[in-house]
Amino acid sequence: MDTWVRTLTVAIASLVAGILLSKLLGDEVVEVDAPVYAELVSEISTAPPVATVALVVAPEPRPVPIVLPSVSYRFEPVPVVEMLPVTPEPDWIDAPDETVELEGEVIVEAGPPELEYVATLHEADADVEEGFDALAPGTLTRMTWRAGESLYGSAIPTPILVAEGVEPGQTLCLTGAVHGDELNGIEIVRRVMYSLDPDKLTGRVVGVPIVNLQGFERHSRYLPDRRDLNRFFPGNPRGSSASRIAYSFFEQVVRRCDALVDLHTGSFHRTNLPQLRANLLDETVLEMTEGFGGLVILHSTGGEGTLRASAVRAGVPAVTLEAGEPLRVDDKAVDHSVKALYSLLDDMDMYKRRSFWGTPEPTYYGSMWVRSDKGGMLLGEVKLGKRVKEGDVLGTVTDPITNVKQEILAPQPGRVIGMALNQFVMPGYAAFHLGVDAPDGSTLPESPSAEEIDHSVALADGVLDERDDSDE
């Protein structure tokens, strides 16, 4: 197209130049042969031919086939012993709710009582060493007990809650977290203390949510020196750190009380059915257990150095209330325990709150631990509270490498009052705690059985090491 334009431009310019030249040379007109001129103009005016290009439509893309290498597999048959069962988390079995008929009045008891937190805390700059006599009637007061000294020489203030009734009466003490990893007792003390109305209380309730504050801060059962505080009561003012703490608490708090309930849970990845541990050979303790209502009772004189046994020797009736597992707040176990404590307060004529229970729970005069003979994955087959017969399967231990499974069988009839959580265990691990019946009370043992001796006492006496079996 550009060539054609240039050619036309040159032709017109030549024509104009010729005319101008003829004018200059004497008006002579150069005649141009008309056909030649027309042919020239036609040739110049004709557009050059344009090549026609056919449009080619691109083909649709096709997936590229992926060619995998040919591999052949050969399987050898492997014997399958049995698929591992999926076991729900262990739970304890509740007695069914019942309707109790009382002189024409129908009372339906649906589980634990609903709590209304009515108490108002009065902050008092008072040390428990000064005693409780100066507290105003009808108040809930926070006091301080100083549990020894820390590594840097400062005192360790531990809070104590005291509900002072409007009428004089007995003093009941509730202690939680003597083992620092046992959380249920802390919550039980809180619910009881803040749901009590001091204006309706007769006597005094002393609540110590966290006795072992140093262990609690470290999420540990023990004190920082690895001693078990519940093996050093009533303590010694010139002994070890644990013994001095025990002595301070026993003298400043326990000896000022008329009854004691020490709150605990299972130990070392175990859980317990809500139950009382009590020395039924002591008449005052036996009478105290009758006020709790629907709780399993296990006879146990208590290990040497425990808070419960030391209190009984000092003339203060005491029991241990076991419920749940460590490092976890079990709301169901806490509610059951709170209901039992209100039954006790009512029985002691300290606070009127009627609780009605379902099927009465039994009293066991003996117990035994059933152990695993193999190491591996322990899976429970029973729930807390289940009654078992001799030969019943309590759980299984499966080798994770060979898939060989061993059943743990009940050696005699009883009831599951404690059990290990699902976990990997070593051979000899105490997995299931059975409460067993005795013919009558005349066969009660005078001292703790070997299963109740804790490791610290056993090692000191050169007897045996039962570190993993003790709850208290």
Eight-class DSSP state of 384: B
Residue entry with tokens 């310019």: 13
Predicted pLDDT at 244: 93
pLDDT digits 0-9 by tens, 287-300: 999 999 889 999 99
pLDDT score at 317: 97
pLDDT in tens, 170-214: 999 999 999 999 999 999 999 999 999 999 999 999 999 999 999
Residue 154 near residue 144, CB atoms below 8 Å: no
Q: What pLDDT score does 345 carry?
A: 96
Q: Which residue has the tokens 């030249």?
A: 21
Taking CA atoms, 20 is separated from 14, 33, 342, in Å, by 10, 19, 134
The total number of residues shown for the chain amounts to: 472
- pLDDT, tens only, 356-385: 676 788 899 999 999 999 999 999 999 999
Distance CA 227, CA 236 (A): 14
Instruction: Render the burial of 439-469: b for 16+ CB within 10 Å, e for the rest.
Output: eeeeeeeeebeebbbbbbbbeeeeeeebebb
Measure the CA–CA gap between 62 and 458, rounded to whole angstroms.
Answer: 81
User: pLDDT tens track of the chain, all 472 residues?
Assistant: 566 667 777 777 777 776 776 666 555 444 555 555 556 555 555 555 555 555 555 566 666 555 554 444 444 554 544 554 545 554 555 544 443 333 333 333 334 446 677 677 777 678 888 888 889 999 999 999 988 766 666 778 899 999 999 999 999 999 999 999 999 999 999 999 999 999 999 999 999 999 999 999 999 999 998 999 999 999 999 999 999 999 999 999 999 999 999 999 998 899 999 999 999 999 999 999 999 988 999 999 998 999 999 999 999 999 999 999 999 999 999 999 999 999 999 999 999 887 767 678 889 999 999 999 999 999 999 999 999 999 999 999 999 999 999 999 999 999 999 999 999 999 999 999 999 986 554 454 444 443 343 333 333 333 333 334 556 7
CA distance to 44, 49, 263, 439, 450, per residue, from 52 (Å): 22, 9, 101, 116, 109
pLDDT at 43: 56
Residue type, position 126, single letter: A
Res 162: pLDDT: 95
- For residue 104, the model assigns a pLDDT of 34
Model-level pTM? 0.71
Residue 123: predicted pLDDT: 72
pLDDT of residue 142: 93
